Chain A
Amino acid sequence: MTEWSRVLWKKQPYPDNYVGDSFLRVSKKRREVTYGQAFYSATAVTQEICSCLILVAVFCGLSEGHMKAAGVLTFTAVLGVTGYFITRSQLRSSARDDIKLVCFYVALISCASPVVKSLTGSVATDTINACTTALLLLRIVHQDYGALVAIVNPTVSHNLGVFASVCLASRLGSDRDVFALMTLAVALFALFPGFRKYCRTKLGTTLDLFFTIVVVTVTAAGLWLYAAHLMPLLAFALVTCNGIIPALFVALQRHKQNIYGPWDEAQIEDK
């Protein structure tokens, strides 16, 4: 018997339902992900959660009077300047433009502080708490962690962060407290994600892990000192986000099956 060939125009002496060797030429693609890779990628989410919790901790400290506005401002300034010097090579604008931008921000926020202070006078505290929680959660959801999916929207994420900080800051006592918290919020929500991206891409994994540990320690310390009731939340978040969910992802990845074959629509490349 002649070789069976996979063509329709030949009259072949095989029955119509014959199964030849070249049947089922499919390609099954699946990216193999190890637990270490998943764990490392999840540290980005952990850092984001920690930055939100730092904001809440500072708010608790300020509103209860344990922290002084000046202290918060120095802390923010030190962080900002350190981050700026580390990412100097990345920045395209000149030092003068950056200083002008900082001055502009300071002026804007200090003018806005009295307005923000009296913003939510008629709103109940429970509403404020619930609103802030929801906004910070949404912010964590929409943040850009490096994946190109539809749910990522850096603008929405940033706006939600600022909105949450406005909600919190409007509960504080003095104008200076409000100014300090808003500056910290800008540093955490507008500048920190960019710094994190720079760390991941340019500085290597060990430095990035070191930064993560620093951030987590600072958050834990802040919560311990000023908002002890949130410590279990931090522990739960760390364990779930960085421990359980990567493990679940790796376990479920085994079941994922992407089958590609000659029936798929050809993709037109855009030139």
Chain B
Amino acid sequence: MEAKVKKQRHVICMVSDFFYPNVGGVEEHIFQLSQCLLGRGHKVIVLTHVYGDRRGVRHMTNGLKVYYLPIQPFYSQSVLPTFITSIPLLRNIFVRERVTIIHGHSAFSTMAHEAMNLARAMGLKSVFTDHSLFGFADMSAIVTNNFLAISLADVNHCICVSYVGKENTVLRANVDQEKVSVIPNALDTQVFMPDPDQRPKDKINVIVMSRLQYRKGVDLQPEIIRRICSRYPQVNFIIGGDGPKRSILEEVRDEVGSDRLELLGAVPHANVHGVLVKGHIFLNTSLTEAFCIAICEAVCSGLQVVSTNVGGIPEVLPSRLILLAHPNVDSLTQILDVAIQREISGRRIDPWAMHREMRNLYTWPDVARRTEVVYDKVRGEESSADIYQRIPRYKKCGLLAGWFMMFLVTLQFLLLKICDRIWPVEDIDIAPDYPEGNAEWSYGEIDLNSRRHTNSTLVNGAPRISKLGQIRPTARRRIR
């Protein structure tokens, strides 16, 4: 047990519509972050919606408990945000798991917003991580920004993945600048290692790996491929990924021949490394990107990177590891030319040197450590869930949205009172923490006697549970 600083143990509930078995950036982020936080000794559970037959409680690696709640997805993998009908279910989960912090992911996930709102109503703390960038110009962006502003009006802290993301969140959701932290994404550096034997010695392969849609800049690629293929007979292109714009790449393939341009279709994330090591250069033509983990994976695997300088990409890598271009065909072709020349003349950085440099830059334990700093800060905050203090926070949302939210918050308060009557807190069974062994300490360190309130869920901090005393003796055993 550490004598110097008494580390706080948090019980974190990650909430998002996007989780396994869906595969993507947000899902990977939640899983890896949860694993690292479990390793640091906190308790983590994940809430998400039902995926096909997959409903109920599942346990993943290291005892990560995942609740697949029986709420149907409504539009684009997100549930219908009612704010009212999910109160009893979520309240039950928060009480039985003794959650202290709710961490919502992705602005598109309505379940995350609902859970964070309910958490504040119950007196728990909420943290939000935003993974994407948004414009301000068109109608859909205006509506989404308003909803985000409503949701973030009563959130303890926000996390963004880049400085551009922080600016974007601050501007569009009207959040205080001090309430937003920048914690970048990370990648698994053990998986992405260079393998120079996989690359052909006589040819140069350029890899492109992205979903084939407009915002990834697929419209720029055909012209670049044509120009480079005609100029350098030894350069081939390998494009992985699928999407609505696949047909324009198939047209180019018919022009230059399938030996010059290979279309792999959708590549599962486990096979991405296998494709990357076959290449010498990685090309990224995105038109907008908050962080772009793909270029980091490429650098980690020892490829030279040519990318557009949009969004957060200039902040991600130092200039010796990446070549930046403007998002048009001429600039990208010219920079790709430079990269190919470096490859031909051999004046490029050694792949293992790139990997060694990358290994310390973006790692999941570092992200977890910085997130823990946010949790500690949030835990110590004095933000009350008392209804009289909660309602004025929505005043800054404007006339229509603000008053609507005040009404909704009052309704939530009343419903919570009703739930306390029908399903009192002392009747809710407390779920045992599993596994106890991975935690660095036993339950003895939690301050149990701090709150002696009435049996209501509306208290500051964790709800007071009377049954905890019964579990204490068994939990002292440490299994390592």
Contacts and interface: CB of A to CB of B under 8 A. Distances in A.
B315 A8 contact: yes
Interface string B172-193: 0000011111111000000000
Contacts of A104: none
Interface in A1-49: 6-9, 15-17, 19, 23-26
B181 A264 contact: no
A263 B220 CA distance: 19
A7 B308 CA distance: 17
Interface stretch (A118-126, A160-168, A198-206, A254-262): A254-262
A268 interface: yes
Contact of B182 (A16, A24, A26): A16
B411 interface: no
B162 A8 contact: yes
Interface in A231-271: 258-259, 261-266, 268-269, 271
A6 B315 contact: yes
Contact of A263 (B182, B311, B361): B311
Nearest to A269: B328
A5 to B, nearest CB: 9
Give the contact-size bracket for chain B. Answer: 35 or more
A6 B136 contact: no
Contacts of A23: 163, 166-167, 177
B167 A24 contact: yes
Given A9-B318, A268-B287, A17 B167 contact: no
Contact of A261 (B168, B179, B184, B308): B168
A269 B75 CA distance: 33
A9 B361 contact: yes
A17 B179 contact: yes
B288 A261 contact: no
A134 B160 CA distance: 53
Interface string B314-343: 011110000000011100000000000000
B136 A266 contact: no
Contact of A264 (B182, B288, B362): B288
Contacts of B217: 266, 268
Among A6, A8, A258, the most chain B Cβ lie within 10 Å of the Cβ of A8
B327 A263 contact: no
A268 B327 contact: yes
B249 interface: no
Given A9-B361, A26-B167, A265 B184 contact: no
B135 A263 contact: yes
A6 B308 contact: no
B27 interface: no
B219 interface: yes
Contact of B288 (A8, A16, A26, A263): A263
Interface string A121-160: 0000000000000000000000000000000000000000
A268 B328 contact: yes
Among A16, A264, A271, the most chain B Cβ lie within 10 Å of the Cβ of A16
B163 A16 contact: no
Interface in B125-156: 133-137
B184 A8 contact: yes
B385 to A, nearest CB: 23
B377 to A, nearest CB: 9
A174 B370 CA distance: 89
A263 B287 contact: no
Nearest to B166: A23
A271 B222 CA distance: 14
3 tightest Cβ-Cβ pairs between the two chains A and B: A16-B181, A266-B327, A263-B133
Interface of A: 6-9, 15-17, 19, 23-26, 258-259, 261-266, 268-269, 271
22 contacts: A8-B312, A15-B181, A16-B183, A16-B370, A19-B177, A19-B178, A23-B177, A258-B136, A259-B171, A261-B171, A263-B164, A264-B135, A265-B310, A266-B287, A266-B288, A266-B308, A266-B310, A266-B327, A268-B219, A268-B287, A268-B327, A271-B329
